């Protein structure tokens, strides 16, 4: 290939790229529908903040083929009401406020659709741990932590095809000792924000599956202690940490209300509690957004 041919090729790809960037349909998503049909669209509550859930009407008739939706290279769950398709996405806690775009593919058509994320502020939480090795782990522990985080990354990408969870209940009822999203400092050192809810109950308190699903991981992790992951369909997942005992195995199908283990104080903790997380497209969101309002 001559230099000229390469230059022309580069030029053409630049034009193609520019065309892609400029021409896609830039319409803003409509206002979210206040009352979703839970029977069709699941229990998700629209709350477009970092750590929240965004429900986007896609303007695609429910009779049409299921669109595939992607945001930041992650597959996004789609569900159809009687009328049209919707995307249900989890917004990571570190997302900047402003307009973001999803990619929607239907057949060989690709378009972008914008949605807004508004700012919110989460409180600060300072925790003192006597066991400093859980704050600044030793090199050998770091090796274990890195291996565990690779494994958890894989688990968080697993998804089954259909949603099995149209209603969620609390896995344990008890006082909330830490809410979702707290900006955390362990022994005065900044660490990841709190990706779940802590429910303080004594060791041995039964934990139940909040909705139907499949057990996709169990294990004993450095920070999370004894843990369980449930996939509820379409990448909607729940996660349980610091458990005392685990009574399910990978591959088990669970029904809402089935016991999966008990509350404990394993891993990085200051006392017995259940850490409960909700995952959507591999990101932690506020679990209260799938619980019915009291």
What residues line the site for Zn ion (CB under 5 A)?
196, 198, 275
The SS3 of residue 39 is helix
Taking the complex as a whole, the smallest distance from the CB of residue 265 to Zn ion amounts, in Å, to 12
β-strand partners of 225: 221
Nearer to Zn ion, 111 or 268 (CB): 268
Closest listed residue to residue 189, CA positions, set 97, 127, 238: 127
The SS3 of residue 229 is strand
Taking the complex as a whole, the smallest distance from the CB of residue 194 to Zn ion amounts, in Å, to 6
CB-based burial label for 29 (10 Å; 0-12, 13-18, 19+): buried
Taking the complex as a whole, the smallest distance from the CB of residue 107 to Zn ion amounts, in Å, to 43
- What φ, ψ does residue 22 adopt, rounded to 5°? -85, -40
Q: Count how many residues are written for the chain.
A: 294
Residue nearest to Zn ion (CB): 275
Nearer to Zn ion, 68 or 270 (CB): 270
Nearer to Zn ion, 195 or 233 (CB): 195
Taking the complex as a whole, the smallest distance from the CB of residue 14 to Zn ion amounts, in Å, to 48
Nearer to Zn ion, 100 or 242 (CB): 242
Nearer to Zn ion, 232 or 275 (CB): 275
Taking the complex as a whole, the smallest distance from the CB of residue 243 to Zn ion amounts, in Å, to 12
How many other C-beta atoms lie within 10 A of the C-beta of residue 135?
A: 16
Contact assessment for residue 84 and residue 60, using Cβ atoms and an 8 Å cutoff: yes
């Amino acid at each position: 290939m001559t230099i000229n041919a390469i230059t022309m090729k580069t030029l053409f790809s630049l034009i193609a790229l520019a065309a892609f960037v400029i021409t896609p349909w830039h319409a803003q998503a409509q206002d979210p529908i206040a009352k979703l049909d839970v029977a069709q669209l699941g229990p998700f509550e629209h709350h477009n903040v970092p750590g929240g859930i965004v429900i986007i009407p896609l303007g695609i008739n429910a009779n049409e083929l299921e669109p595939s939706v992607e945001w930041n290279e992650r597959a996004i769950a789609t569900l159809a009401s009687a009328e049209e398709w919707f995307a249900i996405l989890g917004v990571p806690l570190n997302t900047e406020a402003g307009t973001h775009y999803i990619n929607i593919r239907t057949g060989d058509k690709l378009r972008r659709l914008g949605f807004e994320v508004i700012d919110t502020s989460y409180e600060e939480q300072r925790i003192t741990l006597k066991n400093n090795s859980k704050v600044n782990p030793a090199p050998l522990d770091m090796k274990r932590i890195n291996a565990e985080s690779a494994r958890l990354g894989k688990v968080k990408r697993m998804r089954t095809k259909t949603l099995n969870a149209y209603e969620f209940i609390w896995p344990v009822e008890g006082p909330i000792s830490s809410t979702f999203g707290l900006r955390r400092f362990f022994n005065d050192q900044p660490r990841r924000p709190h990706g779940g809810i802590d429910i303080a109950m004594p060791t041995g308190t039964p934990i139940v599956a909040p909705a139907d699903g499949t057990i996709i991981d169990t294990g004993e992790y450095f920070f999370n202690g004894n843990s369980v992951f449930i996939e509820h369909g379409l990448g909607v997942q729940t996660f349980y940490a610091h458990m005392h005992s685990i009574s399910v195995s990978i591959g088990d199908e669970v029904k809402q209300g089935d016991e999966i283990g008990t509350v404990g104080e394993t891993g990085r903790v200051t006392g017995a509690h259940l850490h409960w997380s909700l995952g959507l497209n591999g990101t932690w969101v506020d679990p209260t957004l799938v619980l019915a309002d009291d």
